[in-house]
A and B are shown apart, each in its own frame.
Chain A
């Protein structure tokens, strides 16, 4: 306990050091596609009641309706997981901060506060309007956290970003609670959504959110080269002819679209955006052209698997995917800190 941290600190300080056995990108991609496929099958088959796969396409099967609900749930999980992981990967590159995650930086909390206010005060009820409200909340939170963390001599360090995010989350949680206690009806609608869940939504929800997710994903994926350049530092990026301010805004819009939509669809889910990019980076390195699409795949697989696991872990009740994501995510978060990468002031 007393001597190892120092050693680890020195050994791990070289960020982006080549992992000892890196798999080829095609292998990793194939594995992740396989994981997504397995996750989908499990998600349809496993649950309070097991369903044979055949029930999905056999309209006359007695369990056909349940299987449809599970398929919808799985699709939503895929979309939300991919969006969150992609948002996390972009955010980590954009802020050059290994701990960036839409949940930790308060972006999800901002979106949910905006939605509660929208529901309670302005009587928003259409999902499409909800999405806009969520975007607004997410955008305001993202800008606020970044501005607050950037003030001061040392700029936006991971430490300051994380604390600003935590403070914003705490404040918005207080205000959200205040609104909910005043408005009982909103609370009934909100209490399940607030945990982060993909169950009990129908397909129309996903279809409404899909265009926003697609635009966000397209912006994010096309920003891979920008992120690679930004990784060199602002000065060098500017020297290479990039207009860093505009690049940042475009990528910020992508994050807000992805995280905002995911939050509107499934509630605030933390840690997916943190864990998946790190795992993928450990496998294929930090080139964003590979990192971004593979993170999206990994996020989709993780959320669907976590949701499936949540159905069987504490029967007869269901553990929501937001809780399961925290269960999986916190150990990884702790490991990242423990490895000392964030301990050095620079990171």
Chain B
């Protein structure tokens, strides 16, 4: 109480001190955020560069730019433009799509397990895409369109069956549907000849090799439209995390979070149509970015983390076993599943999902 009676000068300094404390408290997360985004960007750039330039066939930096600007270097041009670069670019784009979609799902549904690859949305897109490709012989844009439809239908069924409050049921319904979608894919798998079987096998786990430029361009185009929309809608995400009622009280309409979920579904579907359901990327990216960012959700961080995971995993998948090009999903699946189990063992899910 004696503080109240002290001269005004001291009161002013006390105010300044309090201001400093508040400022510092606000600055620390901001600094951390900048650090996380910067760090992830640098790591992603490094992984991308390694993916494009290193490996079995090294391409020097000057050569890389000469090829990009149109100089034809025998051997190197083909390897870069037909194999390394499309793989790396697709891995980057698909990783961004899955990372953003996963974070959107996990935050709007407020459950780290509710990522599109666990609740069957990715496999729904994959099942419809694989039917369109292998049985109907479709290609390009129609495949993406049909994959979007497949993903939306699975998401709708999950939503309707699980009821408005989600939680436990949402995950269980999703796991059941994922199993059903997997058996559809495996049915298609028995209907095609040997060469296509390799292809279909990749539709179960996801892969970025052997994809042509038009598909990649299509994905890039869709992302160029969807990501700004997502960014614009995301401003309310922090409020959404507090729960439907609180969010509504803070002036965030429920339609907006539904819209975000729909965006997430579409992002997953276009990613799957290009690269297959790369296992566990959308599940992993969100929590990793969140943990790095001191427990605060960051969509940009998830996007970078997703891209980093896919690009790095693809590099490993390419050179892990000599002479064999593993699909990238084998690596992400083998890494992601233990992470899921670890999350389960730590009891995190029990608390958050209950």
Please report A residues at the B interface, Cβ cutoff 8 Å: 1-2, 5, 99, 103-104, 148-149, 151-154, 157-160, 162-164, 166-168, 170-171, 173-175, 177-178, 180-182, 187-188, 191-192, 194-196, 270-271, 317, 319-320, 322-323, 325-327, 329-330, 333-334, 337-338, 342-343, 345
Shortest distance in angstroms between A170's beta carbon and chain B's nearest beta carbon?
5
Chain B interface helix/strand/loop/mixed:
helix
| Cβ contact within 8 Å between B187 and A174 | no
User: B179–A326 contact, CB under 8 A?
Assistant: yes
- Which chain B residues have a beta carbon within 8 Å of chain A's beta carbons? 113, 118, 157, 160-165, 167-169, 171-173, 175-180, 182-184, 186-187, 189-191, 194, 197-198, 201, 204-205, 279-280, 321, 324-327, 329-334, 336-338, 340-341, 344-347, 349-350, 353-354
Is A322's CB under 8 angstroms from B176's CB? Answer: no
A337 touching B344 by the CB < 8 A rule? no
A164 near B176 with CB under 8 A, answer no
Complex formed: what's the CA distance from A342 to B162 in Å? 11
Minimum C-beta distance from A163 to chain B (A): 6
A187 touches B201 (CB 8 A): yes
B171 A159 Cβ-Cβ under 8 A: yes
Q: Residue B178 contacts which of A148, A166, A325 (CB distance < 8 angstroms)? A: A166
Main secondary structure of the interface of A (DSSP, over half): helix
Q: A159-B171, A181-B327 are in contact. Are A174 and B354 (CB under 8 A)?
A: no
Q: Report the bound CA distance from A126 to B180 in whole Å.
A: 31
Q: How far is the CB of B207 from chain A (nearest CB, A)?
A: 9
Query: Whole-angstrom distance from the CB of B109 to the nearest CB of chain A?
Result: 15
Q: List 6 A-B contacts (CB under 8 A).
A: A152-B344, A153-B347, A171-B334, A173-B205, A188-B194, A343-B167
CA–CA, A151 and B348, complex, Å: 12
Asked if residues A2 and B164 are in contact (CB atoms below 8 Å), the reply is yes
| Total inter-chain residue pairs, C-beta < 8 Å | 171
CA distance A173 to B189 in the complex (A): 14
Residue pair A99, B172 in contact (C-beta under 8 Å): yes
Which residues of chain B come closer than 8 Å to A323, judged between CB atoms? 183-184, 186-187
Which 6 pairs across A and B sit closest by C-beta, in order of nearness? A174-B333, A171-B337, A152-B347, A326-B183, A178-B330, A333-B176
Tell me the complex Cα distance, A170–B182, Å: 11
> Are B345 and A177 within 8 A (Cβ)?
no
Residues of chain B contacted by A187 (CB below 8 angstroms) = 197, 201
A345 x B333 contact (CB < 8 A) = no
* Cross-chain contact B173 with A334 (CB below 8 angstroms): yes
Q: Which of B180, B189, B344, B346 contacts A164 (CB 8 A)?
A: B344
Q: Which residues of A sit under 8 angstroms from B354, Cβ to Cβ?
A: 345
List B contacts of A325 (CB < 8 A).
183
Q: How far, in angstroms, from A171 to B157 measured CA to CA in the complex? A: 25
Give every chain A residue within 8 A of B327 (Cβ-Cβ).
Answer: 177, 181
Chain B residue numbers with a CB within 8 Å of A160 are 344, 349-350
**Known: A159-B353, A163-B349. Is A343-B183 also a contact (CB below 8 A)?**
no
Asked if A170 meets B180 with Cβ closer than 8 Å, knowing A104-B175, A152-B350, A178-B326, the reply is no
In the bound complex, residues from chain B placing their C-beta under 8 Å from that of A191 are 189-190, 197
Given contacts A163-B344, A177-B205, A326-B180, is CB(A170)–CB(B169) below 8 Å?
Answer: no
CB closest residue in chain B, given A347? B168
Within the complex, the shortest CB–CB distance from B189 to chain A, in Å, comes to: 6
In the complex, which residues of chain A have a beta carbon less than 8 angstroms from the beta carbon of B350?
152-154, 157, 159-160
Quick check: B333 and A163 within 8 Å, CB to CB? no
Option from A182, A330, A337 in Cβ contact (under 8 Å) with B180: A330
Contacts A170-B279, A171-B334, A270-B183; A195 near B344 (Cβ below 8 A): no
Q: Which of B157, B163, B186 contacts A194 (CB 8 A)?
A: B186
In contact, A1 and B344 (Cβ under 8 angstroms): no
* Cβ–Cβ contact A167 & B344, under 8 A: yes
A343–B333 Cα distance when bound, in Å, is 28
Determine which of B176, B324, B337 lies in contact with A330 in the assembled complex, contact meaning CB atoms within 8 Å: B176
> Once the chains bind, are A195 and B161 in contact (CB under 8 Å)?
no
Contact A170 B280, CB 8 Å, known A191-B189, A323-B186: yes
Contacts of A329 in B (CB 8 A): 180
Q: Select A192's contact among B190, B280, B344, beta carbons within 8 Å.
A: B190
Q: Which residues of A contact B353 (CB under 8 A)?
A: 159
* Assembly CA distance A195 to B204 (angstroms): 13
Asked if A159 and B172 make an inter-chain contact with CB atoms under 8 angstroms apart, the answer reads: yes
